[in-house]
Amino acid sequence: MADDSSVKPGLITSIFFEIIQSPLNLVLVLLIVFLVYKIIKSRQSDEPVREQIPELPKMKKKDFTVEELKKYDGTQEDGRILVAVNGNVYDVTRGKRFYGPGGPYAAFGGKDASRGLATFSVSAAGEGYDDLSDLSTVEMDSVREWESQFKEKYEFVGRLLKPGEEPTNYSDEEDEPSGTGESKSKDD
């Protein structure tokens, strides 16, 4: 057993000398140490960024015209961002890194993103109302999948109105925490 304990320091020593004797090994070890440092540093710097995004009050439900929706692209004072998917409007402000100015999906902020999500094209966000009638079945299935993901992750705030369509009166639902009558009766 005395031989085993003497082998460990020799092994560590030989690895150390192997690293410092070869310039390539030394550079690789320094590169690894540097990358580990950068990873740790970036994780520490992400924490304050997340805390800096102020929580906005819950938005009252209402229906939006295309023109009204355009105002919520993240550039206004409060920074709220709304995105429409398949006729429903969601508050995606929590996803500001993605949908806000400078984000990879900023083109969807304040617009109907349905066509872009269906065709996997960020530039396909239209300016006017898009009835999606020309999309294939596969593309519409894709829109519905995206819509279900938005429903799970973001707050529903209303519908996107077709031209000439009248808005829904959401006044009865404003005080309800989850938008259903059942939740209200449980909370009372």
pLDDT tens for the chain, 188 residues long, are 455 555 456 888 888 888 888 888 888 888 999 999 988 888 876 555 444 556 788 899 999 999 999 999 999 988 999 999 999 999 999 999 999 999 999 999 999 999 988 888 887 666 778 888 898 999 999 999 999 999 999 999 999 998 888 888 877 554 444 444 333 333 43
Looking at residue 180, its pLDDT comes to 40
Q: In 10 A of CB 150, how many CB atoms?
A: 22
CA distance 169 to 141: 29
Name the pTM for this structure: 0.63
Looking at residue 13, its pLDDT comes to 85
Looking at residue 123, its pLDDT comes to 76
Domains delineated in the chain: 2-52 (no CATH), 66-175 (3.10.120.10)
Q: In 10 A of CB 106, how many CB atoms?
A: 19
Q: Which helix (H) or strand (E) holds 145?
A: helix 137-153
CA distance 8 to 18: 15
